[in-house]
């Protein structure tokens, strides 16, 4: 561009400045009249203008040969970023900038009509300067859109990778659980089969016969329980379970469960205590809350027996936590959860070890989590001295609890210290959203993803 005394361009610059408000208003009117720019109507005046006054200031400063107050590329990128956040397509941003170009060119034509004595070469210089500024604005906005598109695509790719990894991990965890369940089933069936074989022996005393019958009944009961749990887990994983949200007194449910389990606790020489407010009213699924509490309570009672000489302890407690959350905790004095670092429960439940932990305050890393006392298939000769029920692994039951917690928007935490016991803590919302609310949320989220994905 040829060198020109800035004083010669000052009248044109002053004219454009005096028309600044009209230019911005005419720009908006042109955009609103463009049927392809439907999103403009949702923008306030400040949102629509955004950084355009700054860009027009830069145009004036260039015409007058003054230092630029802002970097044009940054202003253009900022304008593009703003339009991205307003869910505008790149083509929409380009169209609105085209309308601004047309408005500025018309203003230049009007100036020439009002002041015909103006040297046409000066008008040409201003025309070129307007074109240069708007071209840089186009470029800066496009570059910002391109950067955001790449970031968005990278984010989507990472999200997809994470989803695939989660699905693979879930498949591995499910395989581990099924292997453990198969091991437990095989153990119980082995005991039952051996007991049935021994019952066929001649010359059995009445006491031995009763003992083997009890073993058979007990282990067949274990098999039935595990099969029922596998069916429950299958239903949960397939999404067949539905929420039935009602007004529930959680205290009443937990007190009733504890009272009903006192007999089991006494036979295992365990002290079972309940602590919580007399009433704790929440909105949740009563049946699923009962299943969570029952699974955790039975699990604690199953692994807290310290033998006939020492009493075990299981404590069930509950309380409000603020206005929107309540917590249920079940702590036992059992052997704790331990095992190899690859254990499924460790990976899924993410044991809690932090300054506020009840157990393991001195630990810097969570204990590895694994069911203990996984049963082996006893030989027939060992059955004659076996008097206790074969313990079953807790993996399935805790998986069921985890799925139920997810349905109730609850978090399941675990603290454990070998030789001292385990604490399961469930944090639940006071009001669980029902299926209709969840469907509305899913629809809204799907709409938001669709808007982003169309870019």
Whether residue 273 sits in one domain with residue 391: yes
Measured distance CA(85)–CA(78) in Å, rounded: 11
> Residue range 267-274: average pLDDT?
92
Identify which of 1-10, 69-78, 172-181, 387-396 has the greatest average pLDDT. Answer: 69-78
> Residue 357: its pLDDT value, please?
54
Q: Are 211 and 198 in contact (CB under 8 A)?
A: no
CATH (domain of 335): 3.30.565.10
Last residue of a domain, one of 115, 142, 158: 158
CATH (domain of 124): 1.10.490
Q: Please check the confidence at residue 191 and state whether its pLDDT lies above 80.
A: no
> Residue range 320-340: average pLDDT?
84
Residue 170 lies in a domain: no
Structure tokens that stand for 407 in this block? 């349905």
> Residue 378: its pLDDT value, please?
39
Whether residue 330 sits in one domain with residue 454: yes
Measured distance CA(325)–CA(253) in Å, rounded: 17
Residue 247 lies in a domain: yes
Q: Please check the confidence at residue 355 and state whether its pLDDT lies above 50.
A: no
Under the banding of pLDDT at 50, 70 and 90, the label for residue 354 is very low
Q: Which residue has the higher pLDDT, 347 or 402?
A: 402
> Residue range 133-151: average pLDDT?
87
User: What 8-state DSSP symbol labels residue 44?
Assistant: -
Residue 231 lies in a domain: no
Residue 202 lies in a domain: no
For residue 373, count other CB atoms closer than 10 A to its CB: 14
Q: Which residue has the higher pLDDT, 368 or 137?
A: 137
In the chain, how many domains are there?
2
Residue 42 lies in a domain: yes
Whether residue 294 sits in one domain with residue 412: yes
Under the banding of pLDDT at 50, 70 and 90, the label for residue 204 is confident
Average pLDDT, the chain: 79
Last residue of a domain, one of 102, 126, 158: 158
Cross-strand partners of 326: 320, 428
Whether residue 453 sits in one domain with residue 336: yes
pTM over 0.85: no
Q: Which residue has the higher pLDDT, 16 or 348?
A: 16
Residue 163 lies in a domain: no
Which range of residues forms the domain containing residue 448?
243-455
> Residue 440: its pLDDT value, please?
57
Last residue of a domain, one of 125, 158, 191: 158
Under the banding of pLDDT at 50, 70 and 90, the label for residue 250 is very high
Least confident of 228-242, 367-381, 438-452: 367-381
Under the banding of pLDDT at 50, 70 and 90, the label for residue 114 is very high
* Nearest to 272, CA basis, from 281, 285, 282, 263: 263
Identify which of 103-107, 202-206, 432-436 has the greatest average pLDDT. Answer: 103-107
Residue 50 lies in a domain: yes
> Residue 341: its pLDDT value, please?
32
Whether residue 49 sits in one domain with residue 153: yes
> Residue 389: its pLDDT value, please?
40
Whether residue 249 sits in one domain with residue 373: yes
Measured distance CA(145)–CA(77) in Å, rounded: 8
Residue 169 lies in a domain: no
Whether residue 141 sits in one domain with residue 254: no
Give the model confidence (pLDDT) of 228-239 as tens digits. 767 766 766 666
Name the percent of the chain lying above pLDDT 90.
Answer: 31
Cβ-in-10-Å burial (0-12, 13-18, 19+) of 448 comes to: exposed
Measured distance CA(63)–CA(234) in Å, rounded: 73
Q: Are 20 and 57 in contact (CB under 8 A)?
A: no
């Amino acid at each position: 561009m040829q060198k020109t005394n800035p004083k010669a361009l000052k009248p044109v610059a002053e004219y454009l400045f005096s028309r600044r408000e009209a230019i911005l208003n005419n720009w908006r009117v042109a955009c609103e009249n463009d049927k392809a720019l439907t999103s403009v109507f949702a923008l306030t005046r400040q949102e629509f203008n955004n950084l355009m006054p700054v860009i027009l200031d830069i145009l004036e400063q260039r015409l007058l040969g003054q230092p630029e107050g802002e970097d044009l590329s940054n202003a253009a990128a900022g304008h593009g970023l703003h339009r991205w956040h307003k869910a505008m397509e790149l083509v929409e941003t380009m169209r609105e900038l085209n309308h601004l170009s047309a408005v500025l060119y018309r203003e230049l034509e009007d100036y020439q009509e009002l002041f015909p004595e103006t040297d046409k070469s000066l008008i040409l210089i201003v025309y070129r300067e307007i074109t240069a500024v708007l071209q840089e604005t186009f470029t800066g906005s496009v570059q910002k859109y391109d950067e955001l598109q790449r970031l968005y695509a990278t984010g989507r790719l990472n999200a997809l990778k994470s989803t695939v990894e989660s699905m693979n991990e879930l498949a591995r965890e499910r395989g581990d659980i099924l292997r453990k369940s198969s091991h437990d089933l095989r153990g119980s069936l082995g005991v039952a089969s051996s007991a049935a074989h021994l019952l066929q022996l001649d010359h059995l005393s009445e006491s031995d016969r009763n003992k083997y019958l009890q073993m058979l009944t007990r282990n067949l009961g274990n098999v039935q329980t595990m099969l029922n749990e596998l069916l429950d887990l299958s239903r949960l994983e397939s999404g067949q379970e539905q929420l039935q949200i009602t007004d529930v007194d959680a205290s009443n449910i937990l007190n009733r469960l504890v009272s009903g389990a006192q007999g089991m606790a006494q036979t295992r020489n365990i002290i079972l205590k309940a602590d919580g407010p007399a009433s704790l009213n929440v909105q949740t699924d009563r049946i699923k809350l009962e299943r969570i509490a029952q699974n955790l309570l039975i699990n604690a009672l199953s692994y807290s027996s310290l033998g006939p000489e020492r009493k075990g302890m299981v404590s069930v407690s509950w309380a409000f936590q603020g206005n929107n959350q309540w917590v249920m905790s079940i702590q036992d004095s059992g052997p704790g959860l331990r095992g190899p670092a690859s254990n499924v429960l460790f990976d899924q439940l993410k044991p809690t070890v932090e300054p506020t932990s009840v157990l393991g305050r001195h630990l810097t890393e969570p204990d590895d989590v694994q069911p203990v006392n996984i049963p082996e298939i006893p030989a027939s000769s060992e059955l004659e001295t076996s008097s206790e029920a074969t313990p079953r692994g807790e993996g399935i039951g805790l998986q069921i609890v985890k799925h139920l917690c997810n349905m109730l928007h609850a978090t399941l935490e675990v603290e454990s210290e070998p030789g001292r016991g385990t604490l399961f803590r469930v944090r639940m919302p006071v009001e669980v959203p029902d299926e209709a609310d969840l469907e509305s949320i899913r629809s809204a989220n799907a709409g938001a993803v669709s808007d982003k994905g169309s870019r």
